[in-house]
Amino acid sequence: MAKLNLSRRSFVGLAAAVGAAASVTTMPMTALADADDSKKDSSAEVKVVRSCCRACGKNECGVLITVENGRAVKVEGDAETGFNSMGNCCTKSQSSMQAAYHPDRLYHPMKRTNPKGSSDPGWQRITWDEAYKTIADKFWELKNKYGGESMFFMGGTSRIWTQHAYAAWLQLVGSPNAVTAWQICKGPRHFATQLQSEFAYSWMATSDRPRVFVQWGTATEISNYDESCRSTVDIANKADHYISVDPRRSGLNHEADTWAHLRPGTDGALALSWANVIVNKKLYKDLFVKRWTDAPFLVVEGMEPSGGQLQNTIAWRELKPMRTTLLKECDLKEGGSPYRYMVWDELAGTDEAHPLHTNDASGHLTYFDAETGLWENEPDEVWDQFYESPQPNILEGLVQGRIAKESPFNPEIDPALYGEYDVVLADGKSYKMRPVWDKWAEYLENFTPEKAAEITGIAAEDIDAMATLWATPIDPTTGYGNGGIQYGLAPEHACNSIQNNRIFDTLVGITGNWDTPAGNRGPTVGLFSGAEDAQPTIVTGHFAEIGTTDFHDKILGCQKIPFLSWWQQWADANAVHDAILTGDPYPVRGGLCEASGFMNQGNSTKYWEALNALDFFVVQDLWKTPTAGAADILLPVYHWMEVDCPRISQGSTGVQGATCRAIEPPADTKYDVDIVTEVYKAMNVPYADDPVSFGLPEGCTWPTSEQLFDKCVAPMGMTWREYVEAFQEHGWWDCRAIAPETWGTYRRYETGMCSKPYLVTPAGNPMKGMSTDTRKMEIWSPALETYYPDGKFNMPTWDPAPQTELADPNIREEWPFFMTTGRRIPVYFHSEHRQLPWCRELWPAPRMEINPEDAVKLGIRQGDWVWIESPNGKIRQVADLYWGIEPGTINCEHQWWFPELDQADKGFGLSTVNCLVNGDAQDPICGSSYLRAYHVKVYKATPDNSPFGNPVPCGEDGTPIICDSSDPRLKEWLPNYEIREEA
């Protein structure tokens, strides 16, 4: 795509001219500010700021913030231009004012004065200069004594500006150890699709309105994740058919046409049974399977694995040499290419060009060349045949986009998907070979609907009906499927993260729903440039330590989980706390955390012990969280209403806009982005080795946040201030309109525009296909075959989670209840907002859902406190009797802590479900923790079996938590406007 050079005015005009949305207004913000004259004080100074809400999730909900005399007085949905969220503004967003003006917010840097582990850290206010000097001195001390790897960096959910644990902090000290929520929160999906097709093509373009809406293990109607609340409801209502895959009844799936209430943790088995139906009924798109997957590539039984060099387009350095049994030209003859993958062409003919290749009357060998992206003798041409999307129900005024026509084989071939063939290799020996598809189809026979019914608890006829309905196009004339699969976190939490997500990716691909309208098509591409499009501040230009020979081998966890050294994007959280406590494989003595918590991964009790054993630990946050209770230094940060930041949809929503400062930051707080730069400065480390090549002004050693945003929007010919002005005037842009060659085009694998078009063919054209080693969707993974030579993970497969009846038939004898967890709560986002009065009033205490039949047997009534116990710990939650969950199964809530308790750990151990987790059971490929689908016991909490003689959880001094909406302590959290002025 050509580089743009647009002024603010011309950009607004361009976007309006191409019809970004019928509802988009070009009304200036002064008019917006004066739009409600009847309800405001005529003497007040009132303005309305258009922004992007960051109160939850990863979405881009458009909001309008009304500011009166400098104070935010209202947050509401942007009904004028927020087409992506349909003007929605949820309870979390509206409660944001209570966060910005909260009396318990952190307003000044603090240092610990009491020993680690004390109930009272003894926080003492310090200056920013003292904070920066302390951090710089301690970081240098640890680096010089133990090496950069002795420090780890934690990052939480995507607040855009709090993502430096993913890169910037690592680059500062030369550490490979990022501990991020990403490992258990959508990261496995991105990992799996990076491995198999394209990075993060797990995101589904629900904004395109699928004909069949499949919502699998997620509840976006109450938590803005892939799509916003109101939009999800609209999508479900307008779809021809709505399928919900969820172990429990939810508010929205009461309206589902099909509710598949599977046993927790059996998602992969159900998905493989769908694949079985699709394959056996031939509901797959034959051309896509043969042309764009490695399904026709040939697996040679007994051949010594070989290959070229593995690649990973987001890894820090090259990887180990490939070792795969897929047949390549180099296996057939000396000097042959390791990148030419062979297929069996069933069209009869001779193979005179390759006399060493096996021939017979039924076909011959030919190849696909992954170095050029071309089949044998295929012309190197740019594909330029398109048609307009006919997607129904899309919001009026949005651009439909164009669809690349399906290209044929040229010259014509017909790669075999089934069969067994003889081949003589360069070693002179004869072998048997079979297409990948044939081997996977054979494996799928383990998951017929009848067999899957026994695993999942869903009737065989229902499995068959769901798969058939979804995979059969309602309108075959469109040339694509009914929509992708909107899958959430649940399939990532039962030790099958990567394989489950590979199954989903394969299902979407073979049914014509990969990068098609309403299909799974990855992160939105807008008009920003660079790897950090949606999160423009996480990467610096300082790579002094990154990429050295042994750097990625130091990633903690790769000793147990070898594939982490391929991924290179996170250290295993469990391995990090083990290294802190044991010094094995090397000492970890320091760390820093940005807006994250230790309650989200592994066993929380063990993690708390580890954090308190560190020599030095820094926390940046709005609050004194449990994580902050283990810190040596606390740094106060801005709230989302106080920051600027460009924003493009992280998912497939397809919008571009911004978060814009509406109110001035209070007291001594600082912007996370600027904190990072200031620590670089305090350590005398340049933010970029070469500022100019990084896109910064000459001599800009330590840039401001605004200079970084100028860099981000520079390809548009604007400064950041001009971009903000344009956004205030225009509102949200439809990326299909402003980026027609990338986001506005579907089937980008046909055009060479998948992800970033950085690879070219010998003729200089964009290389078609995916960004994998084979340039295909890899149903057979050469990378996994290389790192796991036993072949267990070569294809998308499934195994039962270890602490289930499927793995241990006797487990219910001691642990009778099967537990799931992680459901979305309308007023919270994971561990956030427990101290906001409006939110806590609506949901004051953690709830455990239990079927009433089970409750009667246990003598439990609605509202009773109950103990939930595993071999690793026990917690208390309130019983919520609910017919929407199966007998024998319970649903607990995750990541509860209690800001009202005056103690360092904030009582996380009282109710946090991760205190029950077995930290040694993990996904074997990416290390994601075993967070749900395991067995526990449940019994009523009584005065006799509860500390302080009180079934209600209490703090260390006996103070009960807030568990009732009438608790007067909630009023102590009402906004305090005056404290913001203190310096």
Active-site residues, by number, are 92
Which one, of 100, 107, 106, lies nearest residue 975 by Cα? 100
Q: Is 549 exposed, middle or buried (0-12, 13-18, 19+ CB in 10 A)?
A: exposed
For the chain, first and last CA: distance in Å? Answer: 48
SS3 letters across 550-561: CCHHHCCCCCCC
Degrees (nearest 5) of the Cα angle 33, 34, 38? 125
The CA distance from 631 to 904, in Å, is 10
Facing residues of 175 across strands? Answer: none
SS (H, E, C) 708-756: HHHHHHHHHCCCHHHHHHHHHHHCCEEHHHHCCCCCCEECHHHCCCCCC
Residues 702-723 as b or e (16 or more Cβ within 10 Å = b) = bbebebbbbbbbbbbebbbebb
Beta bridge partners of 736: none
**Cα separation values, 138 from 370, 488, 683, Å:** 48, 40, 10
Residue 274 CA, chain-centre distance (Å), reads 24
Name the 3-class secondary structure at 593. strand
* Amino acid, single-letter form, for residue 591: G
**For residue 628, which of 643, 648, 608 has the smallest C-alpha distance?**
608
> Which pair of structure tokens corresponds to residue 39?
């309800």
Question: What is the Cα gyration radius of the chain?
Answer: 28
Question: Distances from the Cα of 351 to the Cαs of 374, 550, 870, in angstroms?
Answer: 18, 45, 64
* 198's tokens: 């394209």
Q: How many CB atoms lie within 10 A of CB 540?
A: 24
Q: What 3-state DSSP class applies to 839?
A: helix
Planar angle of CA 634, 619, 892, nearest 5 degrees: 125
Name residue, tokens 């001779």.
350
Contact 733, 726 (CB under 8 A): no
- Only one residue has tokens 């990467």, namely 539
Taking the C-alpha atoms of residue 480 and residue 483, their distance in angstroms, rounded to an integer, is: 8
Q: Coil, strand, or helix at residue 90?
A: coil
Cα(217)–Cα(247) distance, rounded to whole angstroms? 8
Residue 389: both structure tokens together:
């999307």
What is the rounded CA–CA span in Å between residue 33 and residue 31?
Answer: 5
Q: Which string of b and e fits 939-958 if b means at least 16 CB within 10 Å?
A: ebbeeeebeeeebbbbbeee
Residue found under tokens 């990068």: 515
Sign, Cα dihedral of 241, 460, 935, 854: positive
Q: From CA 334, how far away is CA 345, in angstroms rounded?
A: 22
396, 411, 205, 431: which is closest to 303 by C-alpha?
431
With contact defined as beta carbons under 8 Å apart, do 83 and 394 qualify?
Answer: no
